[in-house]
């Protein structure tokens, strides 16, 4: 049964284009090796590296290096998540950053924004820019949960199922389109729902420890999504006002533009490379 499930998951990843793909040949305007940007893509809650499947080849075909990480808690049973700490999330990304041969551009979606901020603090000299894609841009001393609780426009509470025994949460499929995938195709939603994982509660509660000397020296950019019903556009802009960004790019998109508008997401990232 376990082998069958893994085979099924692997088939879905192939269908979604989420397994590693070769860079496309014959593309114009590729940067030289020294000019290449290393994008490190950090997914949000319940998702995995697979959610960037449509964006990755668009960046690679322009000659850039791309690493999409799987944060802790993917592909394991909820009962095994109790020991996961916020630092474990950051450690996965830190390893990629420290092994890179050049300063990276971190890209965090949704809850992944908190991990991006943590890594900008611990690896500031190796991060050229942090990009928040409809993500939680949380100030020092605050938590994602504290910011999210003030969002009067979010529909997340109706879409999230919480398990008090394992301290995890998952997405109620009945509300997935309305809250997370408003402008996605039915096929993209079908595949996504089969790849989602329960999410440990630790990152939602974790208070960020960010300093002006490290995190504060890393350039920040924000890609806001005006049709987002998970993190309202009002909250996105309140976070930007509290933590100013050097650049803001606006997409007329829902919470998951990596699925619905991958070309636009890739183009935005290329502008920020």
Q: Report the 3 state secondary structure along 185-253.
A: CHHHHHHHHHHCCCEECHHHHCECCCCCCCHHHCEEEEEEECCCCCCCHHHHHHHHHHCCCCEEEEECC
**Residue 157 sits in which domain range?**
2-14+30-271
**CATH at residue 257:** 3.40.50.1820
Residue 22 has pLDDT above 80, yes or no: no
Q: 78 falls in which pLDDT band (50, 70, 90)?
A: confident
Answer yes or no: is 183 within a domain.
Answer: yes
pLDDT-derived band at 133 (thresholds 50, 70, 90) equals very high
Residue 75 pLDDT greater than 50, yes or no: yes
189 with 177: CB under 8 angstroms? yes
CB 111 within 8 A of CB 203: yes
Within-domain flag for 20: no
Q: Is residue 22 part of a domain?
A: no
Stretch 228-254: mean pLDDT, rounded? 99
| Strand-pair partners of 65 | 38
Q: Percent of the chain beyond pLDDT 90?
A: 82
Alpha carbons 244 and 95: distance in angstroms, whole number: 27
* Residue 23 counted as domain residue: no
The overall average pLDDT reported for the chain is: 90
203, part of any domain: yes
In the chain, the percentage of residues whose pLDDT exceeds 70 is 88
Query: Strand pairing of 38-42 and 160-163?
Result: unpaired
- Domain tally, the chain: 1
Classify residue 239: in a domain, yes or no: yes
Q: Residue 147 falls within a domain, yes or no?
A: yes
pLDDT digits (tens, 9 = 90+) for 27-37: 345 665 667 99
Provide DSSP, 105-150.
Answer: EEEEETTHHHHHHHHHHHTGGGEEEEEEES---PPTT-BHHHHHTT
Q: Select from 236, 45, 235 the least CA-distant residue to 151.
A: 235
List all residues 6 or more positions away from 192 whose beta carbon is below 8 Å from its beta carbon: 16, 47, 51, 176, 181, 184, 256, 259
Rounded to an integer, the average pLDDT of 82-105 is 96
**From CA 78, how far away is CA 220, in angstroms rounded?**
34
Residue 19 lies in a domain: no
């Amino acid at each position: 049964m376990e082998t069958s499930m893994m085979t099924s998951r692997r088939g879905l990843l192939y269908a979604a284009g989420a397994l590693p793909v070769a860079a496309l040949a014959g593309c114009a305007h590729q940067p030289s090796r020294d000019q290449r940007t290393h994008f490190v893509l950090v997914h949000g809650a319940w998702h995995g590296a697979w959610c960037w499947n449509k964006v990755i080849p668009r960046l690679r075909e322009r000659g850039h290096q791309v690493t999409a990480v799987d944060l802790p808690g993917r592909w394991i049973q909820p009962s095994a998540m109790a020991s996961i700490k916020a630092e474990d999330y950051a450690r996965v990304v830190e390893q990629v950053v420290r092994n890179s041969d050049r300063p990276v551009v971190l890209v965090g979606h949704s809850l992944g924004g908190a991990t991006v901020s943590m890594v900008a603090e611990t690896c500031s000299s190796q991060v050229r820019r942090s990009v928040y894609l409809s993500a939680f841009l949380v100030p020092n001393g605050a938590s994602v949960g504290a910011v999210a609780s003030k969002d009067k426009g979010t529909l997340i509470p109706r879409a999230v199922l919480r398990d008090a025994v394992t301290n995890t949460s998952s997405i109620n499929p009945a509300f997935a389109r309305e809250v997370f995938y408003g402008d996605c195709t039915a096929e993209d939603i079908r595949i996504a729902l089969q790849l989602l994982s329960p999410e440990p509660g630790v990152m939602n509660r974790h208070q960020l420890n960010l300093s002006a000397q490290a995190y504060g020296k890393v350039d920040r950019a924000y890609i806001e999504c005006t049709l987002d019903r998970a993190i309202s556009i009002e909250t996105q802009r309140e976070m930007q006002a509290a933590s100013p960004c050097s650049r803001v790019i606006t997409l007329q998109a829902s919470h998951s533009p990596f699925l619905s508008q991958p070309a636009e997401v890739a183009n935005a990232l290329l502008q920020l490379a």
